[in-house]
Amino acid sequence: MVIFCHILQARDPQQEAKEELENLKKQHDLLKRMLQQQEQLKALQGRQAALLALQHKAEQAIAVMDDSGMWNDSVFGSMLAC
């Protein structure tokens, strides 16, 4: 009986190798997806930085126009009436 239990517990080395290979493939696929997501995140962060820079420039331009009085109705009133 004891010998029979040991035989059942012994694993087929070929089967173990197949399972290990399958697990390595899954791990590889997961790492590839993680790398792709990391690259996408970097691209999004670059776009976000560009948008923030544009927003900052626009806010600066508005501040300059405010300081120079360009935002009064006499200049932009006709544009707003359209």
Q: Is residue 74 part of a domain?
A: yes
The DSSP letter of residue 70 is T
The DSSP element (H or E) to which 67 belongs, if any, is: helix 13-68
Q: What domain range includes position 60?
A: 46-82
Which residues neighbour 80 within 8 Å (Cβ) at sequence distance 6 or greater? Answer: 73
**Global pTM value:** 0.58
Report the number of distinct structural domains present in the chain.
Answer: 1
Q: How far is CA 82 from CA 66, 76, 77, 78, 79, in A?
A: 22, 10, 9, 7, 6
Element holding 13 (H helix, E strand):
helix 13-68
Residue 61: inside a domain, yes or no? yes
Task: For residue range 13-70, list pLDDT tens digits in order.
Answer: 888 999 999 999 999 999 999 999 999 999 999 999 999 999 999 999 988 888 887 6
Residue 78 lies in a domain: yes
- Does residue 66 form part of some domain? yes
> Closest by alpha carbon to 39, among 50, 51, 31, 27?
31
| Residue 54 resides in a domain | yes
pLDDT at 65: 85
Structural domain contains residue 19: no
